[in-house]
Amino acid sequence: MGRLRKSLPLILVLFALLLKQSLPQGFEESEYNRFVNEGNAPEIHCSRERSRAAWQIIQDYLTPFVERERYQISKNCRLHPDNDLYRDQEQHKIHVAEFHWKCGYCKKSFDDEKFLDQHFVGRHSNLLNTTDTKCLADLCGALHCDFVLSSKKPKSKCNPAAVAKNRLLCESVANSCFPVSQGPSASRLHEHFLRQFCDAHTCTGKDKPFPRGGKKSSGVFYLAISILTLMLLPLFYILVFLYQREKRSGTQELRRIIKIGKKPKPS
């Protein structure tokens, strides 16, 4: 008993060490700061967060329509995955569980996505192709990233010059990604792109971005329909069962009445 009491602190320390090893770790701030302060991180003027928002908008509100048309976006189009500086790194994020992210390059674990982002800056920035890859965040003005990123609508007065600039950028993306001369699919997607993204670049505030919906809204719709069907199906079967039972007992009652009526008279 005395020996157990003596070794208890040692067991506790070992247990704590084991727990620390098995849990996902946050990125050591010092590692990140040291790397950036030493000037090892290349200066990249492209927001990772806004690039991610732009990518998500494309995925939600454009890709489903492009897939439906079986249209191939060319590399000249700035929406092409190759023109997103962070695409490769984003694809190397492994979301294991709610508070568990893993680096796809070196398999290191993190408890928050932002630590993984910092890890990419500190450890894997050499993998970024900064020579000719364009920054997807530069299209944020055209794609309404602020509309998605900020839940509250900005109350600032509408700036007609900025709106006109975004509209021009939006239309140039539509023209380069879906040239009308390339056939009916490209024409339909060109039209779709203008309605979905460019029409809302006005100061009237009448047109909202993404009026044609996207992946998310249809996903929720199908989920609701599925749940409703699953709930109504058993109810339908119960009703059919009750109806059949009622019918059967009704027939038996009738048979009994007929039997009584046919009883031979005693002679």
At 153, phi and psi to the nearest 5?
-75, 135
Residue 54 interacting with Zn ion (CB under 5 A): no
Binding part of the chain for Zn ion, among 32-40, 98-106, 207-215, 232-240 by CB under 5 A, reads 98-106
Residue 105 interacting with Zn ion (CB under 5 A): yes
Residue 139 interacting with Zn ion (CB under 5 A): no
Counting Cα atoms < 13 Å in the Cβ hemisphere of 241 gives: 6
Q: How far apart are alpha carbons 107 and 247 in whole angstroms?
A: 66
Cβ–Cβ < 8 Å for 48, 125: no
Nearer Cβ to Zn ion (105/147): 105
Cα distances (angstroms) measured from residue 119 to each of 31, 37, 105, 107: 9, 15, 11, 11
To Zn ion, the closest distance from the beta carbon of 124 in angstroms equals 6
* # residues near Zn ion by CB under 5 A: 4
Name the residue among 146, 96, 86, 138 with its Cα closest to residue 117: 86
Residue 106 interacting with Zn ion (CB under 5 A): yes
Residue 94 interacting with Zn ion (CB under 5 A): no
Report the residue closest to Zn ion, judged by CB: 103
Residue 232 interacting with Zn ion (CB under 5 A): no
Residue 65 interacting with Zn ion (CB under 5 A): no
> By the criterion CB under 5 A, which residues form the site for Zn ion?
103, 105-106, 108
